[in-house]
Copies of this chain bind each other. A is one copy, B any other.
Amino acid sequence: MGKGRLEAFSDGVLAIIITIMVLEMQAPKGVELGTLRPLAPVFMSYVLSFLCVGIYWSNHHHLLYLTHRVTGGIMWANLHLLFWLSLVPFVTRWMGESQFAPGPTMLYGVILLLAGVAYWLLEHAILLQEGAGSTLAAAVGSDWKGKASLLIYCVAIPLALLRPWIAGLLYGFGLLSWLVPDRRIERNVYLGRRAPEAQHAPQEGECTTENA
**Which A residues fall within an 8 A CB radius of B?**
1-2, 5-9, 11-20, 22-23, 25, 27-28, 31-33, 35-36, 47, 50, 54, 57-58, 61-62, 65, 68-69, 71-72, 75-76, 79, 82-83, 86-87, 89-90, 93-94, 97-98, 101-104, 106-107, 131, 182-183, 186, 189, 194, 205-212
Contact = CB atoms under 8 A, between A and B. Distances in A.
B72 A22 contact: no
A36 B108 CA distance: 13
Nearest to A106: B33
A185 to B, nearest CB: 9
Contacts of A61: 5-6, 9, 75
Nearest to A13: B15
A147 B97 CA distance: 38
B9 A9 contact: no
